[in-house]
Every structure is written in C-alpha cells, then in structure tokens.
Amino acid sequence: MPFLSRLYTLTGLRLSTSTPSYTIIHSLRVPRARPFCSSYPNLESNSTRRKADSDRPFPWRLKAEPDRDTIDNCRPTTFLSPLTDYFKREFTRMLARSYTNTAYGHTYFQIPFPGGAALAFDKLCTTITEYTNPSSSQQTRDDIDESLRTMLDRPLYKRISSACSTAVDKNERVVLSATIHDVRVNDIHIRFGPPHPSSTSPAILRTAKDVTVFTLGEHYIFNWFTLSWMFPKEDVQSREQTTFKLAVASMDEGAVVSIDAVVDVDIVFRHVKSVPAPVVEGSESSRTEDQAADLASKITSELSSSSSSRDSSSSASPSHNEKTISTESCRREITVQFTSPHITVRDAQEGNALSVGSWRISDIDYLIAGDVLEKYVARLERQAEESEQA
C-alpha cells in the first residue's frame, strides 16, 4: 500500500488506503511477447496504409486519409475490453489530472494552455512555410531550422526538418495556413522517472493486454494507459527489488507531462513542385533562337557575339509552373501533443512546474507514435519470417 499512498501524495489525492491496488500490481509485471498475428490482427490489413504513410513526400496527414495506427488502438480486445478499459483509463486520467492540477494549478489547462497551444501551432505552420519558400536564403533557413529545434521535441524535429530540407532540394515548397477556432485538452500522460534526453523515441519491447513495455536507453518504461514508470534495466533484470519499490523510486525522480491537444482549425495545405514552363514549338522564343543560329554562321563574329549576349539575357529568368503533389483546404481536427521538461517532485508539489521550462510539440496526428509502432510491427514480422524459415 505505500506505492498507492505515494502516488496519491504526488497527484494531490487523499483517498482511503483501502483502495484496491491489484490492477496496478498485475499490470506492472513484464508481459510476455505474443505472436504477431494473434497480438495485432488489426494491423495485418493495414500494412498498405503504413507503407503509404512512410512513403509520403511530406509527413502531413490529410483529412481524407485514415488515422495513423498507434499501440493504443491496435491492442487485442475481448468482449469485456471496452467496459474494463474504460474504467481503467478513466482511473489513470483522474490521477494524471490530479497531478497536473497540483503542479500547474486548477485553471491552467482551461485558458492559458489552450491559448499558448494555438499560438504554437500557428507558428509551426508559418515556420514550415517560410523554410520551404524558394525566396528564403540559406542563412534564413538556418535560422528557421534553429527555431524548429527549440519548438519541437527532437524526434519530431528530425522528421520535420528532414522533410523540409528534402523539399527544398527537390525544388518543392509546402504552404501551411491555419485559422484556429478552438483548442481542447483531450488527454494527459504522465511518465514518472529520471530526466532523460529526448533525442530518440522509446522503442516498444513487448505488450500484453493493457500494458506496454518500452525501452529507452538504459531504462525500461512500463506504460499503463496514461501513466508510465521508468525503471533502470539492471534493476529490473536483477529482480532484487519489488515492483512497488521500483515504482516509488521512479516517482521520487520526478515526471514528464505530455498533453494531447485537439486543435479545431481551418487548414490550407499545399505541397507543390516548381517545374520550368514548357517551350511551345514555333513560339517567338524558338524562332528567335533559330534566326540567331542562322545569323551566327553568316555574319561577322561581332554580330555573332552580340546575338549570343541577347540569348543569354533572355534565358536568365525562365518562367516556372507549379505541379501539385498534395493539397487540402478544409476544417478539421488535428491532434497535437505537447511535452513538458522534466519536473522534480518538489516543483510539482509546490505548483512550480511552469518555472522549469517551456512546452515543446512532440507529435502531430500521431506521426511519431505511428513510427514507433511501425518499427515494432516490422520487427515482429521479421521474427515471424525467421522462425518460419528455421
């Protein structure tokens, strides 16, 4: 029972110690890996969708396209799963909300956070547009890239920055314009544990029922709906400490908060490629070039050089057309995840979470979460093929 007491203290709750803890205890056990087909039947029919998403020229999901798969919406289900999962999720949401109410204040996520989230998303759209603008200089793009680095969490920054750089190299540009109507907080995720560099995303190690185990550097992450605990690998593998002690030690290290914000927005997205305008045969420019070639063989070198200078000046500014790669203009909802810096236990209990640093955008429409799942499923498929060959 000290585990739950510690959890309630950190989240600001004052509940009876008689509250059952069996669900949490059972869920924190390391689950065994399951075969691919039995664990993720939903993904077998979505391999084409995942391939199309990975081959997309720019990582932006259009409204007409299906939602990206994540580990949460691909879990195996039973007849009672919708009911039992609902109560489990609501319980973890209650604990997460209590934690953030203590760390940030009861009104922070009602007005200040949605307003800041709207400004951050609008700035991201403007920044991507400026990055791929053909008229932007290299120095300007370097400054914009640095702005993206401070605005985005590292995995998302790598995806967006790489996509923008590739678009510029291919003479493409992306135009994003947003008119935001509303922002609401959809979910709150708490990951207890020590501070950890966000240079890479956690990788899924295994999953069973409602628990997923991730690996991140020298740590395991046990995820149970909206709550996660980070344990050192050597402590888990040695089995010298109980799950309770590991969980309490993890919470004593502090926490990282992630907010899923749903942005109701009128979005204009255009991904276009600049192509030279075709020269029509028999046009005025074609006739001029033919006449210049004839004159070059008949008249003096002085007239010939004069003719070549006129030709070079006429070709210095060729006209271009734009070929549309993908586009949309509609009102839709976009899920944007914001992640906080690491918050110590003292800052959380004293309500000073805002003083530790600024939020960063860590995911858009589950782009990074989809990548994490895709790598896991690819590993399972590879293991299944190897076992069949053996």
Task: Report how far apart, in Å, the C-alpha atoms of 33 and of each of 38, 207, 209 are.
Answer: 11, 6, 11
pLDDT digits (tens, 9 = 90+) for 102-159: 999 999 999 899 999 999 999 999 999 999 998 888 889 999 999 999 999 999 999 9
Amino acid at 246: L
Residue 76 pLDDT exceeds 90: no
Mean pLDDT, residues 32-49? 44
What is the domain partition of the chain in residue ranges?
A: 24-272+323-389, 280-314
Other beta carbons within 10 Å of 296: 15
H or E element, residue 245: helix 243-252
**pLDDT recorded at residue 328:** 93
Mean pLDDT, residues 275-279? 63
Place of tokens 């003292």: 346
The answer to whether the Cα torsion of 177, 357, 153, 112 is positive or negative is negative
